[in-house]
Amino acid sequence: MAWDSSRPVPWRRLIKDWLVYVAIMTVVLGVIYRDRLSAGLFAGVFASGPIFVLMGALLAKLGYQRKTLRQLRVETDAKVAENTARSLGTTSGAGAAGRRPRPAPTKRTAGGGGRPAQHKKR
């Protein structure tokens, strides 16, 4: 997509996401570098803030917008409902939503019943 200066930038969300990142990274660095903690580690984490927010703003102006957790949940619920309705609607499996029927079992597939019977050794 092309740059569009009229697209809104979700500043609050970008800053909130970065603060969550800072909290998680502070804990991770505290666990990993327990004995060797230095100010440089945390300076690097805090220096990432402007970079993260500016890159997010640039992507927003280019048209990228991440979905919220609420939107993802709604989509997942819709897919689950659709799959449930589809499975309840047809039980044969042959005519379900344009899917092809399963091919007949062959000698090579052992009749579709798992492994062939084992013969006893003499």
Domain count, the chain: 1
How much is the pLDDT for 112?
57
Q: Is residue 117 part of a domain?
A: no
Q: Is residue 65 part of a domain?
A: yes
Q: Is residue 101 part of a domain?
A: no
Q: Is residue 100 part of a domain?
A: no
How much is the pLDDT for 3?
86
Measured between alpha carbons, how far is 49 from 21 in angstroms, rounded to an integer? Answer: 9
Q: What percent of the chain has pLDDT over 70?
A: 84
Measured between alpha carbons, how far is 19 from 29 in angstroms, rounded to an integer? Answer: 15
pTM of the model: 0.58
Q: Are 93 and 102 in contact (CB under 8 A)?
A: yes
Q: Is residue 116 part of a domain?
A: no
How much is the pLDDT for 98?
67
Q: Is residue 20 part of a domain?
A: yes
The total number of residues written for the chain in this structure:
122
The total of other beta-carbon atoms located within 10 Å of residue 62's CB is 13
| Residue 13 confidence class, pLDDT cut points 50, 70, 90 | very high
Q: Is residue 115 part of a domain?
A: no
Q: Is residue 98 part of a domain?
A: no
How much is the pLDDT for 90?
54
Structural domain containing residue 31: 8-86
Q: Are 89 and 96 in contact (CB under 8 A)?
A: yes
Write phi, then psi, for 10 (nearest 5 degrees): -80, 75
